[in-house]
Structure formats: structure tokens, C-alpha cells
Structure 1
Amino acid sequence: MTTTTSRRHTVVDSPYGALTLVATDGVLSGLYMTDQRHRPAEETFGDRDETLFDEAIHQLEAYFARELTEFDLTMHFVGTPFQRSVWDRLRQIPYGETRTYGELAEELGNRGASRAVGLANGKNPIGIIVPCHRVIGSSGSLVGYGGGLDRKQRLLAFERGERDDALFPAFAANVPTAAR
């Protein structure tokens, strides 16, 4: 007996460029940025379907409006058990905070696994929602972001509450005054 997997996708605008949301069998399985390292080929995303992503889009809009700091979405991860454990740890890093690769390795019970944590972090299939941008180098430097270091810097600055309406012109008008 063979199992058929259904994949669908949509593309939404964000302050960080277009985001491609992918669902596998109706469950969010990918969020990819333009020019992202480890981004799967477009033909693997399936047909375009706007109907599957209402809640993910709603939560992303709330995040960009600074009304949401923790996503609550059902997600489908495809990866090794180690990768999935890293991605689970990423989801536990609080909004506006960072961890080093070494700290994550230690939290996973293997101090020497910081390089492996970095590789798993870089292959995170659900960027922003699974906040791999919150992981930094041991010196505090911004290293290793599949979406590009500029995006990583902007995401971290955004979560720290810094504003730059030039970077977010379409969204700045929608941010509540209290968040400005």
C-alpha cells in the first residue's frame, strides 16, 4: 500500500520579502524566504493554494504587528531525530532573546555538538515561526543564518523593539501606536 503525500503552497509578503508557506497533507511544513540557503526547489512545493494557510498568515501578520510573540501552529517536520530535537529547542527560545549554538548543544545534553546544532539550525524548514534567527555565535556575533545575515540582524532588532519604518514601510502604518 502506497501513501500519497499532498503538498500545497502560497506566497505572502512580509517586511523581509516574500515568504513561501508550504503544507504537507494540510499541515504547515515549510516557511521559506527568497534566496534562502537550503530552500527546496519550487516544483516540490506543490500547487498554489491560498485556503490552507489562513491561521499561519494571521499569526505572521500579528507577529509583524508586534501583537504576537509566540506562534501556536500545528507543524509537520521532516528531519532526523537530532534535527527535530534542535528545532524543538529553537521554539523554546523566548521572543527577543538569543542563545548560542553551544548553549543549545548543552541544553540537548551534548556540549560538543555545537557544530551539529548549527547544521540542524541551518536546515530549519519553518523559518521565523521556528526562530532559528535567535541563535548566535559564542562571541555574540551573528553567524550562519540561511535567510541571510541582514535578515537575521533585522529580525533580532525587530524583536528587541527597534523600529525602522524605512525597512517596514507597508507594515509600519499597521503597527499599533502602543508598540511604536
Structure 2
Amino acid sequence: MQYKMTYKSPVGDLTITTDGQNVTGLWFENQQNYESLLNDTVKEQYQPIFDKVTHWLDEYFSGNKPAINFPLKPTGTDFRMTVWSKLQAIPYGKTVTYGEVAQQIANERGQTKMSAQAVGGAVGSNPISIIIPCHRVVGANGSLTGFGGGIERKVKLLNIEEVNMSAFHVPSHSTKP
């Protein structure tokens, strides 16, 4: 059984899901079919872990750097789990490129290179947005692309973290902030 609640945030409504012990998801209101990704029944019902998560989100959206004091349990392939682990290591207020994440993983696996596009696919399938900070991953050319919550939200999240946005741009094929 999975449980969910809605959190009203400065970037729109967020749905938080839990198995009762771990955070299993955090999705933006425009992300469709997230419940089917959980492979479980989802019920709107209070769970104590929601208090910790909402406090964390309150702190985050206030511009603070809260520590995660609750367990995360994203579900995905081994490769996706590896990528999501790398995302969690990106410091607050910093960005990395898809290629940099790919090179880190390639180095760890004893390979010379890895596909940045494959990393992009894993980043794009991150089930715990914001807390697993996929918004901190950018294109090598400074392109703000590849964010399931939409480019406008990615820009807002980076602004909350006071990232210097001068080197970044919204690609012409994306929604303008």
C-alpha cells in the first residue's frame, strides 16, 4: 500500500507518496501516471513521515539548506538508481552537466565513456523530484533542459538555491519561463 498527500508549494502542487516508512515519490501536478509507476494501490491518508517531508519542503522553499532526515526509496533499474545516487551528491546551489554525471559513472565502472543521453533518461525518470535534485543537472552548453516539472519550475528551483543563472539559457524548443 502507498499513501499520498498534496503539498502546496511556490512551484505548484506537489504530490508526496510513501510506503509508510520511506518517501517513494514527489511529483509535480503536471506529471501524469505517477501512481502507475508505484505498482501499488495508492490511498490519500496521513502518515507520520509526511510531517518530516513537509517540514523539509518548507525549509527548502524558504531558501534554507535542510538536511534530509527521512528515508528515500525510489524504484528503478540499477542504472537509474546509480544516477539518482549521483544526483543526491550534487551540493545545494550547484549544477553539473549530464556529461559529467555520465563520466563519473563510467569512471566508477572502469569504462572510458558513457552516454549522457542515457543519464538524461534516468534523470528524467527521477520519481522523487526536488529532494533528489534532478533540477541541478544542465546541458553541457548551459541549456536548461530535461526537467519533468517543466523548465519554468527548474528555473525557479535554481533561483531558490541562488544559482548564478548567467551561463544558462532556455532552449528555443522549450517553454519559456
Q: TM range, normalised to the smaller chain? A: 0.7 to 0.9
Query: Matches of 2:126 and 2:41 in 1, distance apart?
Result: 16
The aligned residue for residue 153 of structure 1 is 155
Matching residue of 1:49: 45
CA–CA separation in structure 2 for the residues paired with 1:133 and 1:16: 13
Structure 2 alignment gaps of length 5 or more: 165-177
From 1, 7, 10, the equivalent of 1:12 is: 7
Instruction: Decide which moves more: 64-73 or 48-57.
Output: 64-73
Identity of aligned residues (%): 37
Q: Which residue of 2 aligns with 1:72?
A: 69
Q: Where has structure 1 moved over 3 Å in runs of 4 or more?
A: 37-45
Partner Cα separation in structure 1 for residue 64 and residue 158 of structure 2: 16
Normalising to structure 2: TM-score of the pair? 0.81
Tell me how large the CA RMSD over aligned residues is.
Answer: 2.1
Does 36-45 or 134-143 show the bigger shift? 36-45
TM-score, structure 1 length as denominator? 0.80
Structure 1 residue 33 corresponds to structure 2 residue 35:
no
What is the CA distance between 1:69 and its match in structure 2?
Answer: 4.4
Gaps of 5+ in 1: 1-5, 163-180
* Mapped contact 2:35–2:42 kept (Cα < 8 A): no
Note if contact 2:105-2:114 (Cα within 8 Å) is conserved in structure 1: no
Paired with 1:15 and 1:59, the residues of 2 have a C-alpha distance of: 14
Deviates more, 1:38-47 or 1:91-100: 38-47
- How many pairs are equivalent? 157
